[in-house]
Amino acid sequence: MNAASTLRHLIPTRWPLIQAPMAGVQGSAMAVAVSNAGGLGSLPCAMLTLDALRAELQAITAQTSQPYNVNFFCHTVPAHDAAKEAAWRAALAPFYAEHGIDPAAIAAGAGRAPFSHEAADVLEAFKPPVVSFHFGLPAPDLLARVKAWGAVVLSSATTVAEARWLQAHGADAIIAQGVEAGGHRGMFLPANTLGEHAGLSGTWPTDWATELLTQQGTFTLLPQIVAAVQCPVIAAGGIADTAGVRATMALGAAGVQVGTAYLLCPEATTSAVHRAALQSPAAQHTALTTLFTGRPARGIVNRVMRELGPLSHAAPPFPTATAAIAPLRAAAEKMGVRDFSPLWSGQNTAGCRAVGAAQITLNLAEVLSI
């Protein structure tokens, strides 16, 4: 069996096309539309309460009998750090003043929850056929629970070393996430470690700016991961149209994961300012930024990224940056202003269309038909 047929065996959708889970801009409606169209619809779960997770799973299973994917982050929630939180609020202070926001009224909080036994309790009632993770994999006992109901496990790699790690730790297929991708980089092994693997002396600086200098585009990451692992590899990052799909196939992909192209769909919950940005010349200009969550994620450059710098050291650790910037986003969006919104986008918006998610899926799948 080649990698493509292995993937089809693992995930028996009509086409090896995964709609990328995009927390904050889509829910069950998108997943249902894509799964019913023959792709693999995804439900991003990192920002859902347990009750909301249950409700979304009920919505999906009520509307499709096709395979679907649920996606979770697996990060460690950092201890509350009053000094870092204060520094972050100090950096945002001029913006609070401008918008008449009282920072004392803003509660600190995590914003995004990692996969947990409580979430697994909810999932067990539904037994989702595919579970994908970002930032590595959950602890072995938690991963074992997912595997116990037969779920196929996916996770993202941004380096060859991460792909090897994921294969060794239980991933059934690997998503090669090129640096072109929108949203969070899945990075979970520091380049520092890679340096040690390569027998280098000295300490690699641990700031994000330096770390990101080593990240790879889809064009080189994909074939090197394909060569390094035995499991199927799914290409992600910059795939906007059938030409992009064909190019990933030439580079050895068993399937593709596409996110940005779905952002204008009616099934997406993309905000009005975000939709406008995606259709403007500003979409040419994305950057990786830590300002919205604390980890690097790619979005269209806006005012706060320009004024603080996209990787400002003032941003506290993931996922705690969200709480303090969220009220600014809400206030600005009310005025139709995108200055403080995370405008997630990959580096190619040419595939974005304000048509149904089924149509986006069918257009991309055209060259995937066997």
The contact set with a copy of itself (CB under 8 A) reads 159-161, 178-180, 191, 194-195, 197-205, 209-210, 212-214, 216-221, 223-224, 227, 237-241, 243-244, 246-248, 250-252, 280-282, 284-289, 301-303, 306-307, 309-311, 339, 346-348, 350
Instruction: Write down the least CB distance from residue 250 to a copy of itself, Å.
Output: 4
Give the C-alpha separation, 143 to 217, whole Å.
Answer: 29
Identify the bridge partners of residue 90 per DSSP, sorted by sequence position. none
Instruction: Write down the least CB distance from residue 142 to a copy of itself, Å.
Output: 30
What angle, 0 to 180 degrees and rounded to 10, lies between the N-to-C axes of helices 50-63 and 117-124?
30
Nearer of residues 58 and 284 to a copy of itself, judged by Cβ? 284
Closest CA to 294 of 30, 123, 108, 148: 108
Nearer of residues 119 and 287 to a copy of itself, judged by Cβ? 287
Instruction: Write down the least CB distance from residue 157 to a copy of itself, Å.
Output: 13
Sheet holding 173-177, edge to edge: 17-19, 255-258, 233-236, 173-177, 152-157, 130-134, 68-73, 41-44
Q: What is the DSSP string of 104-155?
A: GGPPP--SSPBP-HHHHHHHHTT--SEEEEESS---HHHHHHHHHTT-EEEE
Instruction: Write down the least CB distance from residue 354 to a copy of itself, Å.
Output: 19
Nearer of residues 186 and 346 to a copy of itself, judged by Cβ? 346
Instruction: Write down the least CB distance from residue 310 to a copy of itself, Å.
Output: 6
Nearer of residues 64 and 216 to a copy of itself, judged by Cβ? 216
Give the C-alpha separation, 370 to 365, whole Å.
Answer: 10
Q: Which two tokens stand for residue 126?
A: 């539904």
CA torsion, ordered 160, 163, 165, 166, to nearest 10 deg: 170
Which position has the token pair 């650790």? 317
Q: What is the DSSP string of 68-94?
A: EEEEEE--PPPPP-HHHHHHHHHHHHH
Nearer of residues 81 and 241 to a copy of itself, judged by Cβ? 241
Nearer of residues 52 and 367 to a copy of itself, judged by Cβ? 367
Nearer of residues 153 and 239 to a copy of itself, judged by Cβ? 239
Instruction: Write down the least CB distance from residue 13 to a copy of itself, Å.
Output: 23
Q: If you ran DSSP here, which 8-state letter would residue 263 be given?
A: T
Instruction: Write down the least CB distance from residue 251 to a copy of itself, Å.
Output: 5
List, in order, residues 6 or more apart from 277 with CB less than 8 Å away: 283, 300, 302, 338, 343, 345
The answer to whether 190 touches 206, Cβ cutoff 8 Å, is yes
- Beta strand spans in the chain (E): 17-19, 41-44, 68-73, 130-134, 152-157, 173-177, 183-184, 233-236, 255-258, 286-289, 297-300
Instruction: Write down the least CB distance from residue 347 to a copy of itself, Å.
Output: 4
Give the C-alpha separation, 266 to 162, whole Å.
Answer: 35
Instruction: Write down the least CB distance from residue 260 to a copy of itself, Å.
Output: 10
Nearer of residues 57 and 221 to a copy of itself, judged by Cβ? 221
Nearer of residues 38 and 195 to a copy of itself, judged by Cβ? 195
